[in-house]
């Protein structure tokens, strides 16, 4: 069985819960908005047969704490990517392969641009970069409306609006009622979603990738998306960026979080992109 240890990494006032599995070359996996390291547990166990897999709760999520509670404002992307840098270095590695999903893919891209010598291979899975789309106006307008809802009515109505825009509202009325009850909680995933909507969402949505810097990265870069996500804008953004920077685009099994539904198939695909 692959060894599993936990530790805390302090960086820029934040305390970051970090999990480590396996041995071999380092693979850092970065979670998206409202998520924590637990979402990667199944796929990380599989990947740990060949790599030292590092996962972590991003600052403010799950077992990690931000520099101040509550934060004074939105978290900046530079803080997020610097946390990733700190985890790689505190874990005893001079460089690592990096996988990011959703907002974590944006952080991974920012990390590679800011610290190109730290990243061996970059896999950005469905970064929700609306500003990379050929026609971002529909989504910029939608997110501006979510911001107004947040300011007027609080995070819960804003979260429902966010999930509607992203196709996450279940069609079944019973399931929708269960979702609303879950959002009424202030614990666990609901707390993390509140943090995302209140302090992180805008920095992800406003982020404009440095396409020239991505194209010039010395490491292999793979833009990726789930084959079940073709009608979603993160798929379109990932494919568009790949075309514009001249890097490969790869389809993974499943949808936006395919690693939670079919971890074995997802891990197999990910292994194909990692250096052997």
CATH number at residue 81: 3.40.50.1820
CA distance linking residue 245 with residue 257, whole number of Å = 24
Provide the residue range defining the domain that includes 120: 4-132+207-273
pLDDT tens digit sequence for 24-53: 999 999 999 877 899 999 999 999 999 999
The mean per-residue pLDDT over the stretch 178-196 comes to 74
Q: Are residues 62 and 158 in the same domain?
A: no
- The answer on 164 and 58 residing in a single domain is no
Q: 172 and 260 in one domain?
A: no
Q: How confident is the model at residue 183 (pLDDT cuts 50, 70, 90)?
A: low
Residues 126 and 147 both lie in one domain: no
Phi/psi for 154 (5° steps) reads 100, 175
Same domain membership, residue 239 and residue 177 = no
**Residues 106, 142 share a domain:** no
What is the C-alpha separation between 165 and 159, in angstroms, rounded? 10
| φ and ψ of 161, to 5 deg | -65, -40
Asked if residue 260 lies in contact with residue 42, where contact means CB atoms within 8 angstroms, the answer is yes
Contact status, residue 34 vs residue 60, Cβ threshold 8 Å = no
Q: What is the dihedral of CA 223, 272, 28, 93, to 10 degrees?
A: -120
Total domains in the chain come to 2
CA-nearest of 262, 208, 241 to 125 is: 241
For residue 142, name the pLDDT band (cuts at 50, 70, 90). very high
Q: What are phi and psi of 99, to 5 degrees?
A: -120, 135
**pTM of the predicted model as reported, rounded to 2 decimal places:** 0.94
Same domain, 53 and 181: no
Do 195 and 63 lie in one domain? The reply is: no
Alpha carbon distance 15, 18 (integer Å): 10
Confidence of residue 169 (pLDDT cuts 50, 70, 90): confident
DSSP category for residue 244: H
Asked which of 202, 227, 251 is the last residue of a domain, the reply is: 202
Angle between helix axes 155-165 and 137-153 (nearest 10 degrees) is 160
Q: Is residue 219 domain-shared with residue 195, that is, in the same domain?
A: no
Same-domain status, 116 and 244: yes
């Amino acid at each position: 069985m692959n060894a599993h240890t936990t530790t805390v990494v302090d960086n820029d006032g934040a305390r970051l819960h970090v999990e480590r599995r396996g041995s071999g070359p380092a693979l850092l996996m970065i979670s998206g908005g409202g998520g924590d390291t637990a979402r990667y547990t199944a796929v990380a166990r599989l990947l740990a047969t060949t790599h030292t897999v590092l996962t972590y709760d991003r600052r403010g999520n799950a077992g990690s704490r931000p520099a101040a509670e509550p934060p004074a404002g939105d978290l900046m992307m530079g803080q997020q990517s610097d946390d990733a840098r700190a985890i790689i270095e505190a874990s005893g590695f001079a460089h690592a392969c990096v996988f990011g999903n959703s907002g974590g893919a944006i952080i991974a891209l920012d990390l590679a641009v800011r610290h190109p010598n730290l990243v061996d291979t970059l896999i950005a899975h469905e970064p929700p970069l609306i500003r990379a789309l050929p026609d971002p106006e529909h989504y910029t307008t939608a997110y501006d409306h979510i911001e107004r809802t947040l300011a007027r009515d609080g995070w819960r109505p804003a979260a429902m609006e966010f999930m509607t825009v992203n196709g996450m509202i279940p069609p079944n009325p019973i399931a929708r009622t269960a979702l609303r009850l879950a959002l009424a909680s202030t614990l666990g995933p609901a707390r993390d979603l509140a943090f995302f909507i209140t302090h992180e969402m805008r920095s992800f949505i406003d982020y404009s990738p440095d396409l020239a810097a991505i194209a010039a990265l010395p490491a292999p870069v793979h833009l990726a998306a789930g084959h079940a996500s073709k009608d979603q804008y993160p798929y379109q953004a990932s494919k568009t960026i790949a075309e514009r920077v001249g890097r490969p685009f790869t389809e993974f099994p499943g949808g936006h979080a395919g690693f939670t539904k079919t971890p074995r198939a997802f891990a197999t695909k990910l292994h194909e992109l990692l250096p052997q």
